Structure 1
Amino acid sequence: MPAAARPSTAGRSTSVPSQGPLLGIGQVLAKLSTEFPDVSGSKLRFLEERGLVHPARTQSGYRKFSAADVSRLRLILSLQRDCYLPLAVIKDYLADVDAGLNPPMPGAVLPAGASILPGGRRFSRDELTREAGATPMLVQDAFTANVIVPADSYGEDTLAVLKALVQLQRSGIEPRHLRGFRQAAERELSLIESALMPVAKRRDPQSRAKVAELALEIAGQLEVVRSSLIRAALGRIVP
C-alpha cells in the first residue's frame, strides 16, 4: 500500500490531533516546491475542496497537514505530472486505497490526442437507450437538438445526460427546449481554450499535464458560477 494511504474520512474530526508533527501550508509548500515548483497554496486548497486530501484544522480554521498528508500530496502531484492523470482518476484510486483495497497504480501515460477525461464503460446506441430507460424517439430528439452528439459509442457522461433527459421529459421539458445548451457549452469551451493558450503553446510533458489539470479546474469553477446563477434565479420563482 502506498505511503500516502490513510483511513477513510468518514466521521473525521476537523480539530487538530494531539499527537504527531503537523505542518502549515507554507511548510508543506517548502517540502514540495523543490520537486513540484508550480505547487501553490491555492492548489492545495483546491485538492482539499475536491476531496483528495483532508488536512486537520485548528480552532481558528487553519489547515494543518500530517506527514501522511504530505506523502499523499506528493503522490497526487506525481500522478498528475508524470502520468497525465486527471483528478477524477486519482481520486478514484485513492478512494480504493482508503477503503482497504489494493488497486493497481494508475500510471499509463495518455497517448497523443487522447481525452483528458477518464474513459469508463462504453455503450452502443441501443445499450445507451436501454440503460437510461429512454425511448428511441427521445434519443433521436436529443441528437436533433444537438444535446447529444451521435457517435459509434457513448461514455458514462452521455448516459448521465440521457438519464437526465428522461427525468426532464417527465416534467414537460423536451430536448428541443435545450438547444441553447450546446451553444453555451461551446462558449465556455472558448473561454477555457483562451485561458489555457499560454500553457498549451508549450510542448513539454509538464505543460501538457498542466493543461489537463487546468482545463478540468476551470470547467469546475464555471460550473460553480452557473449553478449559483441558477439557484439565484430560482429564488425569484420558488417561495
Structure 2
Amino acid sequence: MTSRQRMTSAARKPAAAPEAEAVEAQPEGRWPFDVPHDPYLKIGEVQSMLAAEFPLLTLSKIRHYESIELVHPHRTASNQRLFSPADCERLRFILREQRDRYLPLDQIRELLRQLDAGQQPEGTHPGRLRLIDDAAKRPQPGTRLRLTEVADLTGVSVSDVEEMVDAGILAADPRGRLTAQAPDIVRFATMLLGAGFTLRQVRSVRTSAHAHAVLVTNSIATERARKSSVARERAIASATENSTVISQLYRALLTENIEVELR
C-alpha cells in the first residue's frame, strides 16, 4: 500500500463518538500494576464490591483513605469520584493489613510506597516488605496504648473507642491508656455491634470474662502467696493453661447451646 492509499484509508475511518464526559485512565504508576486502571466505578459500587469481606466499610472511610492519599480515584469534570479495579485492590490491601496484621496507617502508607516503587521481593506477600516489622501487627504484652493508637491500629474512630470505654467494654488506666489487648477487644466488639448487638450486650461478655478471670486467679492464690520466682512462673503457667481450657470449654458450651436453641 502506497502512502497516498494509507492516508485515504485513514481518512475513511469513522471518528470515535464523543462522550458526555471524558474519563481518562489513571497512570499505571501505582500498585497493583497487573490490574486495570481504567476508572469507571462509583464510590457506592466500590463499597458494594468490598462489603462481603469488609461489612463495616463505609463511604466515609473510603473518602478518608483518599484524603490521606492512600488511594487516588479519578475526578471527572463535575468532581465525581471514579475508581478503577486497581483502586479496589488497593483498598482491599489497606483493609486487610488493618484487620489481619493490625498495622497503623503510617506503616501501610510505607508498604504502599514500596509497592508503588516496585520494591516487592518476588514471591513474597505484599504485606511482608522491608522496613515493616511483623512484630508491629500486635502490641507487646504490657504495652499501654492511647485511644488514638488503638483507633489507628483497628481503623475504628476515636469516638467509637471512647464509647466502648464509657460503656465499660474497655478498661482505661488513670491516665486514660488501654491495654495491649484493646485492639482485639475493639475489633471483635465492633463486629458484634455491626451484627446488631448493643453496647450493653457486648459488655455482658466482658463481665463474664472478668468473673472467669477471678476464678483463674483464685485457683493459683497459694502459688502467688509464696512470692518466689519459681512459684511465680508456676502460677503464670497454671493460669495460662487454665485460661485456655476455660476458653475451649466456653466455646463448646456456646456452640452446644446455640444448636439446642435452633432445633
TM-score by length of 1: 0.46
- Higher relative contact order, structure no. (Cα contacts within 8 Å, ≥ 6 residues apart): 1
TM-score by length of 2: 0.42
